Amino acid sequence: MSRAHKTFDLVIAANRLPVDRVEGPDGEVSWRTSPGGLVTAMESVMKGREGAWVGWAGEAGEAPEPFTADEIHLRPVPLSAAEVAHYYEGFANDTLWPIYHDVIVNATFHRYWFTAYERVNRRFAEAICEVAAEGATVWVHDYQLQLVPEMVREHRPDVRIGWFNHIPFPPVELFAQLPWRRRVLEGLLGADYLGFQRVADAQNFVRACRQLLGLPTRGDVVSVSRDDDARRVRASAVPISIDFKGLDELARQPETQARAKEIRESLGNPETLLLGVDRLDYTKGIGHRIKAYGELLEEDQVAPPREVFVQVATPSRERVAAYRELRLEIEREVGRLNGEYGRIGAQAIQYLHHSYPRQEMAALFVAADVLVVTPLRDGMNLVAKEYVTCRHDGGGALVLSEFAGAFHELHQAFICNPHDIEGLKQTIMAAIVTPEKEKRRRMKAMRRRVSDHDVQRWAARFLDNLAHAPERPERSTSEREADEAHAAADRRARELHHARGPRTKH
Ligand code: ADQ
């Protein structure tokens, strides 16, 4: 493969490039980088080295020429309309997504979807090989690109390859349903290091290699064959986070604070403003949350305008049938509850099906007394960490599902099992009525955790793990102690939560 053009020491590959297309008044097209946690993290690790980002620009058809934005070289990968339908909406979002999220809805299997997935993964791998310098570090992101590590290694044994999974990795019993399970595992084993959100996700992967491929495993390391000198791949947890400093600054700005006040006023200054913020996705447990809140309205435990619930549901994957059905269901239920319990000028649930700028999101977080996060399964859930970050005033309360990755870090939240509607109702009420002092204690501890473990630290840790794999990197004693203390606290929180047992009389 010729490498006559410019190459880079660090190559990021993700399904999407971090840019949005903007059309000027005369139809001229330009690209604006979309601010997001991942971009901030990558900027922090690209300082001092030359970095490239390989990804789809977001529109079917021809890809724009490579260009540079915010000092990152962007290398667009083209996708045809059929590939968007088969690789992205089909295999990624209607086969892998349900399997990796506990089969909350059934997965759909089509052989031609997998063919498209394989073809697109190969195109990504080729683009990576083109821009990677000799001995470069290649960091591949997420479930859309699981075959890429092996495909890159085939051509470029000189580079170091890491992969990070933003979503859960399923237990082997569920993963085994996937007709292409071997191909996926072999694709991933092309990497040197695999990073996951939770310890359990990394363990699920290692177990799948042992049980489905018959490979030897030892702790968090998998040998890629039975030979004594086989290459070894390490899989461990490295939970993602957010740009704490950037968001904290935004939340403190006087304009954000003023907007938060305005939001509360326009809702009639409720005693308690409850908030839900999610992509409109069946994994997020929006229906369970609304059911619980509906029963609280029915029992008169909450009533507008004293309590107001704002649900922001970001439009998502509307060409996939399960998402269209979910939207209809949620909107029907919100309409029913507002018809039943709303009054003129005082809706029970304010439902917003929009995307908002970062500052408006921060203002919503500052305004909310309770954030309700109830996923049935979620890799991490950044919304929970964003809420905590915006509460430098120490106010607010977080209701958090034990099925979100964030539960393993934010133990001081009001923890719930969203399937247990009675328990969820009690947890929401506890978040409303717990004395201010106790809530502040909890919020302070959670903020400390997020500020210590921000997205910059996450990226640095991932790259450190990758550089040392399959060995563990040398860590300072204080860092190791902090990690051990955290792991112990996590175990304790889980035991305590389960030992409390069913919260309800059934
Ligand atoms: P998501 O499933 O998209 O991410 P999440 O982690 O909550 O879920 O991130 C959503 C992001 O979108 C947040 O930054 C949030 O502020 C933003 N957002 C939500 N609604 C918005 C709106 N209406 N307008 C503007 N912004 C909005 C996947 C996995 C997660 C994992 C992340 C990162 O499913 O489990 O935490 O990747 O690894």
> From the CB of 379, is ligand 1 less than 6 Å away?
yes
Pick the more confident residue, 494 or 82: 82
Q: Is 434 left (phi over 0), alpha (psi -120 to 50) or beta?
A: beta
Counting ligand 1 atoms within 8 A of each CB, the residue from 102, 277, 359 with the most, and so the one to mutate, is 277
> From the CB of 105, is ligand 1 less than 6 Å away?
no
> From the CB of 383, is ligand 1 less than 6 Å away?
yes
Strand duo 221-223 + 272-279: pairing: unpaired
> From the CB of 360, is ligand 1 less than 6 Å away?
no
Element (H, E) at 438: helix 436-452
Q: What is the pLDDT of residues 262-285, one digit of tens each?
A: 999 999 999 999 999 999 999 999
Helix 455-468 × helix 37-46 angle, to 10°? 50
Residue 270 CA to residue 221 CA, distance in Å, equals: 53
Compute the half-sphere exposure of residue 64: CA atoms within 13 Å on the CB side of its CA: 21
Question: Residue 37: pLDDT band by 50, 70, 90 thresholds?
Answer: low
Q: How far is the CA of 292 from the centre of ligand 1 (A)?
A: 23
Phi then psi for residue 123, to 5 deg, are -65, -40
Distances (CA, A) of 326 to 147, 204, 313, 376: 30, 29, 11, 14
Element (H, E) at 247: helix 244-252
Determine the pLDDT at residue 496. 72
Q: How far is the CA of 283 from the centre of ligand 1 (A)?
A: 12
The pTM of this model reads 0.95
> From the CB of 39, is ligand 1 less than 6 Å away?
no
Q: Is the pLDDT score of 502 beyond 70? A: no
Give the single-character DSSP code of 284. G
Pick the more confident residue, 45 or 305: 305
Q: How far is the CA of 386 from the centre of ligand 1 (A)?
A: 10
Q: How far is the CA of 345 from the centre of ligand 1 (A)?
A: 31
Q: What is the pLDDT of residues 396-413, one digit of tens each?
A: 999 999 999 999 999 999
Element (H, E) at 125: helix 111-131
Residue 211 CA to residue 53 CA, distance in Å, equals: 35
The protein residue with its alpha carbon nearest to ligand 1, atom 35, reads: 379
Task: Say whether the peptide bond before residue 305 is cis (omega within 30 degrees of 0).
Answer: yes
Distances (CA, A) of 357 to 114, 256, 383, 459: 35, 12, 14, 24
> From the CB of 19, is ligand 1 less than 6 Å away?
no
